[in-house]
Homo-oligomer: A and B are copies of this chain.
Amino acid sequence: MRNGVPSERVQSDDEPERPARPGRRTLSREDWARAALEAMREGGLGAVAVEPLAESLGTTKGSFYWHFKDRDSLIQAALERWVAESEELMAAAERIEDPVERGRRLTEYAFTAPSGADITTTLLIHAQHPVVGPILEQVTRRRLEFGARLTEELGLPADAAYRHALTALTMTVGIALIRRGAPQLLPQGEDKDAYVRYILELLGPPMT
């Protein structure tokens, strides 16, 4: 029965997770969400387009509109995956005992991770989008609180800790944007290592 309003079939959790076998016959909602998130990493929100995605998945719009109500709900699903990833990252960081080492590792990761590893920058660009905006704010708030809490463990008062976390976020976002748009301007090779050390020193042991 084809119901005119596709009612956005919600995937039950006990549905068998389909392995990525190339000869598979049908796609799942998660396949689409994964592909959308991937496209977003590489080409921004504009790359989350139904028809091109369908083509890259070797299927057609018919599949998409079976699993999703519209493009926005695909974006939503992709971002929910991202939220989960973000939570996992923080949980992993939590497992590092020494707060100093923790801060160092986080900073280093932020400035050496492959471009597109985190889409915060991309999302900030499209923060006006009704789906993107709220999720972005939620995630960013949690990260800032997380960062501020880590910094407080280093002995800073709350307001300074928040400023420090905000500065780290700002630098991360700025670097990511420059790396995307004008990587020639950033130090390469040996200079890059020196630059990362410099950043670590700038953000690392906050005295203020």
Contact = CB atoms under 8 A, between A and B. Distances in A.
A33 to B, nearest CB: 23
Nearest to A125: B125
Nearest to A206: B202
A124 interface: yes
A173 B182 contact: no
A182 B195 CA distance: 28
Contacts of A186: 166
A131 interface: no
A181 B144 contact: no
A182 B127 contact: yes
Interface stretch (A59-67, A80-88, A92-100, A135-143): A135-143
Contact of A144 (B185, B195, B198): B185
A188 interface: no
Interface residues of A, number: 41
Given A171-B171, A198-B208, A180 B137 contact: no
B178 A169 contact: yes
A194 B181 CA distance: 31
Contacts of A137: 182, 184-185
Given A144-B185, A159-B191, A166-B195, 13 more contacts: A124-B182, A127-B181, A137-B184, A137-B185, A140-B182, A163-B198, A166-B186, A170-B170, A170-B174, A170-B175, A170-B178, A173-B173, A198-B208
A201 B194 CA distance: 22
A107 interface: no
A168 to B, nearest CB: 10
Contacts of A106: none
A173 B191 CA distance: 21
